[in-house]
A = this chain, B = another copy of it.
Amino acid sequence: MNANWDDLRIFLTLAREGTLTTAAKSLGVSHPTVARRVAALEQQIGARLFERLPDRFVPTSAGEALLEDTEAMENAALSIHRRSAGLSDTVSGVVRLSAGEEISALLASHLPELRARLTQIEFELSARHTLLNLSRREADLQISERTPDMADIVARKLARTAYAIYAHPSIAVARLSPSAFKSVPWVGFDDDHTRMPGQRWLQERLDGGRPAIRSNNWLVVRETARAAGGYAILPCYLGDADPQLQRVGNPIADVFADQWLLVHRDLRALPRVRAVMDAVIDLFQRERPLMEGRMAGAGNRERRS
């Protein structure tokens, strides 16, 4: 009589992915299973839904005709998924927080106190920069410098983070004159990541030149600078807290980033998500001076205490 609803889920994934192997991976099943279940659906529907090419599956016009409704099913299923978060244990459970690696490092350094505060909550911290799809619950919370223009995502500003130049004390000077920029070695981001804060600013001062050492990761940039590999523009909360780094000059007025805490509206009132949000917001409030670059030498001070 009726098609198996779950076979429609598999149909949709295959239509999106285009190959059995990627769809199978995405669905967490084997590729013959995907093929078999799509074949079963085709038999149920009575029409061929895919052309089978040697290297991929292409939806037929019949398959295309079913996509819109299948996507509607998916949206409803996702809504169920989000609602289900509110149906389980209200105070305990997993909360997944995602942030760039530089914010993840900051949070990681505060994990003991976060864990002490969030006693019943399993706290997953994952480091990545790309904006996750919170509607699909790829994460419950995300800290990001960008806000998506999705109606269901709520953004709460955490801080405006300042950036400054840092170097190992063995090579650091108190201040860099404009003419000296090109005569010191630099560590920075590669060409694919010039959108990271400060990279464009540095390029202008190097007259379009690039750092001698390039990476795609803030923590790698920081490690290189700590090893006296060169001067680097870093977020103050990374540089000022590090005893192996010395600030060079003041925070750069033109280089900053806003950090936003993102949550899906459906999850916002969930007690355990609320608890993690509050803990993160409090942490950023307490660390505001460090965020804004008002704690130069904080790394050295901590070592003395």
Contacts and interface: CB of A to CB of B under 8 A. Distances in A.
A20 to B, nearest CB: 19
A305 interface: no
B70 A76 contact: yes
A93 B84 CA distance: 41
A212 interface: no
A5 B3 contact: no
A87 B8 contact: no
Contact of A3 (B2, B7, B77): B77
A149 interface: no
Nearest to A85: B46
Contacts of A47: 84, 87-88
Interface of A: 1-9, 28, 45-47, 62, 65-66, 69-70, 72-73, 75-77, 79-81, 83-84, 86-89, 93
18 contacts: A2-B81, A5-B5, A5-B9, A5-B77, A6-B6, A45-B84, A45-B87, A45-B88, A46-B87, A46-B88, A46-B89, A47-B88, A65-B83, A65-B86, A69-B79, A69-B83, A72-B76, A73-B76
Label chain A's interface by main secondary structure: helix
Contacts of A9: 2, 5
B65 A73 contact: no
Contacts of A45: 80, 84, 87-88
B80 A66 contact: yes
Nearest to A86: B65
A89 B3 CA distance: 18
A45 B28 CA distance: 18
Contacts of A8: 5, 77, 80
A70 B66 contact: no
Nearest to A46: B88
A66 B266 CA distance: 13
A82 to B, nearest CB: 9
A266 to B, nearest CB: 11
Contacts of A83: 65-66, 69
Given A65-B87, A73-B76, 19 more contacts: A2-B9, A3-B84, A5-B5, A5-B77, A6-B6, A45-B80, A45-B87, A46-B84, A46-B88, A46-B93, A47-B87, A47-B88, A62-B87, A66-B80, A66-B84, A69-B79, A72-B79, A73-B73, A73-B77
A62 B87 CA distance: 6
B87 A77 contact: no
A87 B63 CA distance: 9
Contacts of A66: 80, 83-84
Contacts of A70: 76, 80
A6 to B, nearest CB: 4
Contacts of A73: 5, 72-73, 76-77
Contacts of A89: 46
A269 to B, nearest CB: 13
